[in-house]
Structures are given as C-alpha cells and as structure tokens.
C-alpha cells in the first residue's frame, strides 16, 4: 500500500498522457487518464480522492474552465496546472483561482515529483481538517435546533439580547440555551464553543446552518 495519492492526468495529447503515466507509475503513483476536460468532469460523481494534473490548453474546454467547474462542484482537490511556453499568465490566473502549483512543459521528472509531493502534503492537511470537521460535527449533533440557533448568534458575535430578539424568545431563555449547549459540548468558554463551530464549518458564508440543511436534504 502506497501513501502516494492517485494522480488524475487531464491532457488532450495521448502521447503526453502515456509518458506522464509511465513516469508516475515507475515512481510509485497510480494514475487515471482523461483525454479532455469534459471527459474528466463527467467522472466527478465517482472521482477518487487524489491530485489533479491539468493541462491549461485543451480544445473545447481549457484548464481554466475545468478548474472553475471543479470549484463550482465543491471539488477542492489539489490542482497542478501544466502549461506551455507563453502560458505563464494563465498559470498565474489559475493559481489565483486556487491551483496549488504549475509546471511548464517540457518538465523534468524531479520538477513534476516535487510539485506532486507538495500537493500530497496539502492533501494530507486537508484530510486532517476533514477528520477534525467530522469529529466537531458529531459533537454538535447532540444540540437541539434552538441551541444551534443560539450558537449561530454566538458565531455572528451577537449579544444575548439581540439573539433573543431575532429568535422571538427572552434573553433569559437564550442564557439557558447557551448554558445547555456549552455543557453538552463540554466547554467552559465562548472561544471553545466557537472553535468547535468553526472547525465543523457549521455555518456557511451565506449564514445557513449546514447541519440543518444536511438533515433536511
């Protein structure tokens, strides 16, 4: 069993795909090969976790659009952009959009393996964050819907009176819910409760309770 991640190679040039695959397999990596961005995106529903080696210039759909579609689909795997000479500006834009690295063709083996090693470290860090997120969400599952409402107000930095007004309950009731949720979470301070909520990614940027949405969906 290898600790090296699967590498998804997306390039319209069959010779390059085979060459990269051979290089990676002889270095201990497993690979899956895709001849176009559309082919790759069509496999998202069954995409295995790993790194993505993505050519920036392809017919029909270039690497920039593929990367955008990945983000829209919530796929946050590390992306390494492959560019040709003169495509550095596109690589810079790709990195600003979240790509972890870029390499210029033709590239040396050590350059590719170095980029993949950095992507592997990022992937391992993401895996650790995901594990912590799941653990925090498990702890939050014992809260009642009203206690989550109060926690949402705490995450937003609202005082008890404002939380009470927004929820149509008394400040005293908010205090009770707050005390109960902190007891259930086994925390002694506001910062500890907030840390669990942030780690669990309980509330998205639009203010929705992701835990509730998951339960409803």
Under a CB-based contact definition with an 8 Å cutoff, are residues 181 and 151 in contact? yes
Determine the pLDDT at residue 135: 85
- Measured distance CA(120)–CA(103) in Å, rounded: 16
Determine the pLDDT at residue 216: 30
Secondary structure (3-state) at 82: strand
The domain 141-216 is placed in CATH, from the list 3.40.720.10, 1.10.10.10, 2.60.120.620, 2.20.28.120, at 1.10.10.10
* pTM confidence score: 0.61
User: In the chain, which segments carry CATH 3.40.50.2300?
Assistant: 6-131
Q: Which ranges of the chain would DSSP assign to H, the alpha helix?
A: 14-25, 37-41, 63-72, 88-96, 109-140, 145-155, 160-167, 171-185, 190-199, 210-216
User: In the chain, which segments carry CATH 1.10.10.10?
Assistant: 141-216
Under a CB-based contact definition with an 8 Å cutoff, are residues 197 and 143 in contact? no
Determine the pLDDT at residue 173: 96
76: CB partners within 8 A, 6+ apart: 70, 98, 126
The backbone torsions φ and ψ at residue 7, rounded to the nearest 5 degrees and listed phi first, read -115, 120
Distances (CA, A) of 155 to 51, 164, 213: 33, 14, 17
Determine the pLDDT at residue 160: 93
Provide the residue-wise pLDDT of the chain in tens; the chain has 217 residues: 347 889 999 999 999 999 999 999 999 999 999 999 999 999 998 999 889 999 988 988 988 999 999 988 888 888 999 987 667 777 778 887 778 888 888 888 898 999 898 888 877 777 777 778 888 888 899 999 999 999 999 988 899 999 999 999 999 999 999 999 999 999 888 888 888 888 887 665 444 555 443 333 3
May I ask the CATH class of domain 6-131?
alpha beta
Chain centroid to CA 137: how far? Answer: 16
- Measured distance CA(98)–CA(68) in Å, rounded: 9
Under a CB-based contact definition with an 8 Å cutoff, are residues 50 and 6 in contact? yes
């Amino acid at each position: 069993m290898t600790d090296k991640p699967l590498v998804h190679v997306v390039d319209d040039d069959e010779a390059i795909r085979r060459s990269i695959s051979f290089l990676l397999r002889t270095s201990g990596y497993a690979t899956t090969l895709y001849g176009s961005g559309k082919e790759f995106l069509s496999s998202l529903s069954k995409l295995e976790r790993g790194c993505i080696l993505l050519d920036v210039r392809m017919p029909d759909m270039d690497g920039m659009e593929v990367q955008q579609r990945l983000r829209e689909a919530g796929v946050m795997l590390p992306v390494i952009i492959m560019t040709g000479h003169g495509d550095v500006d596109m690589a810079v834009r790709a990195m600003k959009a979240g790509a972890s690295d870029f390499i210029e063709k033709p590239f040396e083996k050590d350059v590719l393996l170095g980029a993949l090693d950095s992507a592997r470290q990022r992937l391992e860090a993401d895996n650790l964050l995901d594990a912590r997120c799941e653990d925090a969400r498990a702890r939050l599952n014992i809260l009642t819907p009203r206690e989550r409402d109060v926690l949402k107000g705490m995450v937003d930095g609202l005082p008890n009176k404002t939380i009470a007004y927004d929820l149509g309950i008394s400040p005293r009731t908010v205090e009770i819910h707050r005390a109960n949720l902190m007891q259930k979470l086994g925390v002694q301070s506001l910062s500890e409760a907030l840390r669990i909520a942030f780690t669990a990614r309980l509330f998205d940027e639009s203010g929705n309770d992701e835990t509730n949405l998951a339960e409803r969906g």
